[in-house]
Structures are given as C-alpha cells and as structure tokens.
Structure 1
Amino acid sequence: MTDPLEDFIGRSVHEPKTLRGRTVRLLGFVSAGKSPDTWYLNRLKLSCCAADVRTLHVEMHGAKAPDNDTWVEVTGVLRAEHVTVENPVPAMEVGVLKPVGQPRNPYHDAPPTDG
C-alpha cells in the first residue's frame, strides 16, 4: 500500500486496524529522532501559504538514520496500534529504506510513485 503521509497518520489514529500487518510505503525527508536509534520521516503540508504550514511526522525504527534533510522512500509496517489524537506521531518498523530525489512539489503530500 502506498499512502501520503497524512493519510497514514490519520489511519494510525482513527482506523489502526486497517494497517495491522500491512506493508506501507511512504515518502518524506529525514530529521533526527529523540534517541540515537530513532529518526523521523517528515512532510510539510502547505494548505494556503507559508503561515499555515504543518509538519507531519512518523517515527522510524529498525534502520540507521540517513542524513538530516535527505529525501527517502520507506517501506515498513506500523509498529504499534495506539496513536493518540493529541500526539499523532505513529511509529513504523522500517523494512526497506531507499534514498530518492526531492519531489517536484515538496509541499504536496503525495505518495511515492513507481516511476
């Protein structure tokens, strides 16, 4: 399954059973995590203008973090089913990590493409 980050996060909060045991592929850029063995996959979601930008995060486990700001495609599975509305940051167990180029429009939360 290939999802925009926002859809994956929303499903992890509101419909986690739909992700149980499913392999998901996500696209985003890297930032450091809270501990040496975690890092974040991020997207910046721009609705209207720079003043309303939101950062979407998924915490990554099981793979060494690439350099900050590197764009990557991550394939993996949701690590835990309890993600709260107050802190909508799901954790993902990384299966495959692939560096990719920055998308043409980095503020459009599009899923990875097969091309």
Structure 2
Amino acid sequence: MRRYGPALLLVLVGAAILRISAFSALYLRYVQAGLRPYLIVSGAALVLLGIAMAVVRRSADDAHDDDGDPLDHEHGHAHHGPRVAWLLTLPALALLLFPPPALGSYSAEREAAQRAAQGVGVFPALPAGDPVELGVGEFSSRAIYDSGRSLKGRTVRMTGFVTHGDDGTWYVTRLLVSCCAADAGTSKAEIRGADALPADTWITVTGTWHPKGKLGTDAAWPPVLDATSVERVEQPADPYEKR
C-alpha cells in the first residue's frame, strides 16, 4: 500500500480542491470568484494524475510478478520511502473533511490602520433612494476622502462582521481582497447608538454617516455610522469585498 502513497496524496488534494470549488462555494473563503474555473481544472488534473500513477504502478507490479526473477522482485519492492511521508495526507484530508473558515475578527484586528495613499476628491453620486446599499469599503472611502460629501444626509445600509476596539467601541468590518485571502486588508466603520454584539457576528446595519476629523487625515479614520437598526444575518457565501 505504501507504494501508492504519492498517487493517493494527489487524489486527496485534487478531491479537496474539487469539493470546495466544483461542488460548493467554499472556495470563496479563500479566493475570488473568478478563479473558480482554474481551481476546478487543477483539482480534476490532480485526481486524474493520481489515478494514472496508481495504474502505472499497478502495471509495473504485475510485470514484476509475472517475470518471476527474485532479484527483480526484491529490487522492485525494496524502496518504499519513509513512513512519515504519510503525514502529508493530513492537510489534504483536513481540507477535504474540515475546510477552514473565512478570515474574521482576529485577522482584522491584527492589521494596523494603514491605508493606501489616496487623494481627496469628488466621488460619483450615490443612487437615489434610501437606504442605499454600500460595501463597508466604499462607505469608508467616501467618508474619509470624498470632498463632495456624498454621504451627507443619506441613510446607508452595510453588511459585515463585528469587531471590537480596546476602548469599548465596536465596528462593522469587512475584509477586502484583490486575489485571495492571503492579500486581505481591513475596512471598518465604528457603530454608535446600538449595543455591541459578540465578535464575528454577521450583521446588517442601517444608519447615517457621522462626520469626524479632516478629510484625508488619520483623524477621519475609522468613519462613524450612527445606527438606527442592527440585524443579525447569516455569513454571505462570499465573505469578502473586492478591492
């Protein structure tokens, strides 16, 4: 059985990739939606490669058995690799059986409040009608950099998860990605006028922008939302916002 270890490992990894991409939306915890076809192709290729390796190995074993030469038989079965190599199957089994969750409050709180340099300017007008649906990242950008004050007098609604500050403040937070979870950055808005909920609770919050600080400065970060309603919701299938 140890001779088939590499083939089994390839099949397990491929099956795990197919499980999270072809048969569910779990891949959205780790990468952008546009990468799904590449994951499916990669997973299928690994499964097929593992099966092909097992078939080739089986054929070689049958050939040795039919040959009947004890020297060849001994040579063909003497080297199997270290037993510890089987530990390589554990990560594949873990991904197959217990996919890791999406990044949450721990990742968000570990990131320093550093934001890409962005000049103050006029943003496009918001759609008519209140409340207007905004991503946490867009709300934050408009609150900090929009000289046209497009948020003024508007009711907005955002969805994200709860994080807590050291001073008792709490935030609606969302992680922003360009490609995958490895490049995730944090965007958040302080919530005022509502009781804090446990960290990592997903919520939809409705309220109005509370201006603070000078535009484009650290004093304006993080932006503030005066909440009129906070509703618990299920984690969305895609937990990240796109940068």
Establish whether TM, by shorter chain, passes 0.5: yes
Equivalent in 44, 53, 58 of residue 184 of structure 2: 53
Equivalent in 194, 206, 210 of residue 63 of structure 1: 194
What do the CA deviations read for 1:84-108 (whole angstroms, capped 9, x no partner)? 5453410111110000000001013
Q: Compared with structure 1, are the counterparts of its residues 92 and 60 closer, same or farther at alpha carbon in structure 2 (3 Å cutoff)?
A: same
Q: How large is the RMSD of aligned CA atoms in angstroms?
A: 1.8
Provide the secondary structure at the position in 2 that maps to 1:108. strand
Which ranges of structure 1 fall in alignment gaps of 5 or more residues?
Answer: 110-115
Q: Which stretch has the larger CA shift, 65-74 or 4-13?
A: 4-13
Matched, 1:104 2:232: no
Runs of 4 or more off by more than 4 Å in structure 1? none
Provide the secondary structure at the position in 1 that maps to 2:228. strand
What do the CA deviations read for 1:11-67 (whole angstroms, capped 9, x no partner)? 11222621112110010000112433x201100111113331101110111101111
CA distance in 2 between counterparts of 1:43 and 1:29 reads 7
Query: Which one has a larger percent strand, Structure 1 or Structure 2?
Result: 1
Equivalent in 184, 203, 209 of residue 72 of structure 1: 203
CA distance in 2 between counterparts of 1:89 and 1:12 reads 9
The number of residues matched between the two structures is: 108
Q: Which residue of 1 aligns with 2:60?
A: none
CA distance in 2 between counterparts of 1:52 and 1:86 reads 24
Q: Which stretch has the larger CA shift, 22-31 or 47-56?
A: 47-56
Q: Which residue of 1 aligns with 2:162?
A: 30
Q: Give the superposition deviation at 1:7.
A: 1.1
2:144–2:217 Cα contact (<8 Å) kept? no
AA partner of residue 75 (structure 1): T
Higher relative contact order (CA 8 A, sep 6+): 1
1:27–1:72 Cα contact (<8 Å) kept? yes
Over alpha carbons, which structure has the higher Rg? 2
Q: Which residue of 2 aligns with 1:112?
A: none
Q: Compared with structure 1, are the counterparts of its residues 83 and 58 closer, same or farther at alpha carbon in structure 2 (3 Å cutoff)?
A: farther
Q: Compared with structure 1, are the counterparts of its residues 53 and 30 closer, same or farther at alpha carbon in structure 2 (3 Å cutoff)?
A: same
Provide the secondary structure at the position in 1 that maps to 2:240. coil
TM-score calculated relative to the size of structure 1: 0.84
AA partner of residue 21 (structure 1): G
Provide the secondary structure at the position in 2 that maps to 1:6. helix
Matched, 1:4 2:135: yes
Query: Which one has a larger percent helix, Structure 1 or Structure 2?
Result: 2
Q: Which residue of 2 aligns with 1:113?
A: none
Q: Compared with structure 1, are the counterparts of its residues 71 and 34 closer, same or farther at alpha carbon in structure 2 (3 Å cutoff)?
A: same
1:19–1:78 Cα contact (<8 Å) kept? yes
Which ranges of structure 2 fall in alignment gaps of 5 or more residues?
Answer: 1-131
